[in-house]
Amino acid sequence: MSMTAGMILCGGFGKRLRPLTDNVPKPLIEIKNNYSILDHKDNYTILDKQIFDFKNSGVNRVLLLTGFLSGKIEERYGKDYNGMKIEYVIEDEPLGTLNAIKLGMEEIKDSEQCVIRNGDVVADLNIKKMISQGEKSDYPFSIFITKMMSPYGIVEISGDKLVSFKEKPLLDYYINGGVYFSNGEINFGDFEVGDIEKTVFPMLANENQLGYYKEDGLFWMAIDTSKELEEIRKEYKNRVDKPWGYEKVLIYTDQYMTKELFLREGFHTSFHLHEEKDETMYILNGKGYIQFEDRKEYFAKNDTVRIEPEVPHSIVAMENTVLHEVSTPHLDDTKRITDIYTRAAKDKSKPI
């Protein structure tokens, strides 16, 4: 595998989110407050999520393409953030995403590949898999695509009558998901300024140089308006991002607890045990296995797996997997035994 750099577009004005973005750059808008970052509590921003995902995908160098309120972004992340090398490419005059990416590509080494992200997109795609697919692709550049969700509820009709309502369904159309992979230099043609989506991408498509990476059924949201910001904050109300995906508390009472876990294909939790928690996992989608000390127990959609207290195990996803974990109400009862994921020194007791 070649070295892969990350690049995030952070220079927009966020006009549709004003007055919130008058003094805060759009990528620094918080999506959850009082969130555990490193060894302290802080606000969790769009950019925190993106850098975190890069780190867990094997990317260790991130270029932030900044402009508006660049100083505030640099003040937060500095040159090193959570073990990631952070560099800044500042666009003095806003000339569109094409110019910003062109400036960023000047900092990419000959031996490097690059993943480029829009700074306002929160998505659970498997960047590691996208990189792997892009390396093997015949196309020099590829775009993450995702199914479009209708902004409105739709109705279904039959003959002269209306028969049903569907609330904001996924449509049979794909959209540009705002994450790109470049296997080397980008062919910018004769274009100098403007949005890369309206200039370079159509050119590459016409010249058969544009591939795609697709994952269906993932959480994806571009935060452009206050309505979308409200929706993402609702998503993160009881959610915590993990190196392998996320966990979300759905129900928490004195009698029991239900969590939703999402694991990306090819990822797994730490090898861990619960001293008191007795849990049963209901597999909603995907397949994988539970790695015990002496065996593997495979699972697929609609399977049920019981994990008793004091039993060391790891959950391994062979496909993108969503499961519901119903257990006794011991929220932080996790003891890690072995762990491939790096984390802050004071973070050793937190659940993974």
Q: CB–CB of 87/62 below 8 Å? A: yes
Tokens representing 237? 């109300």
pTM of the model: 0.86
Q: What tens digit of pLDDT does each residue of 287-341 get?
A: 999 999 999 999 999 999 999 999 999 999 999 999 999 988 877 888 888 877 7
How many angstroms separate the CA atoms of 318 and 337, rounded? 22
Q: What tens digit of pLDDT does each residue of 116-129 get?
A: 999 999 999 999 99
Say how many domains are in the chain. 2
pLDDT at 289: 95
Same domain for 210 and 80?
A: yes
pLDDT at 147: 86
pLDDT at 52: 92
For residue 97, the number of C-alpha atoms closer than 13 Å in the C-beta half-sphere is 20
Same domain for 231 and 248?
A: no
Tokens representing 308? 């008793």
CATH for 341: 2.60.120.10
Same domain for 223 and 253?
A: no
pLDDT at 346: 37
Report DSSP state, residue 15. G
Write out the residue range of the structural domain in which residue 266 sits: 240-347
Same domain for 216 and 336?
A: no
How many angstroms separate the CA atoms of 188 and 330, rounded? 54
Q: CB–CB of 315/217 below 8 Å? A: no
pLDDT at 99: 87
Q: What tens digit of pLDDT does each residue of 152-179 get?
A: 888 888 888 898 888 777 777 888 999 9
Q: CB–CB of 163/157 below 8 Å? A: yes
Q: Tell me, yes or no, whether 352 lies in a domain.
A: no
How many angstroms separate the CA atoms of 78 and 58, rounded? 20
* Residues 6 or more apart in contact with residue 209 via CB below 8 angstroms: 139, 140, 141, 187
Same domain for 180 and 249?
A: no
Same domain for 214 and 309?
A: no
pLDDT at 125: 93
User: Quick one: which of 242, 241, 13, 12 has its CA closest to 118?
Assistant: 12
Same domain for 51 and 84?
A: yes
Q: Tell me, yes or no, whether 225 lies in a domain.
A: yes
* Residue that terminates a domain, selected from 235, 255, 286: 235
Low-confidence residues of the chain: pLDDT under 70: 1, 36-41, 342-352
* Residue that terminates a domain, selected from 235, 267, 285: 235
CATH for 82: 3.90.550.10
Tokens representing 328? 């006794």
* Residues 6 or more apart in contact with residue 40 via CB below 8 angstroms: none
Same domain for 188 and 298?
A: no
Same domain for 197 and 67?
A: yes
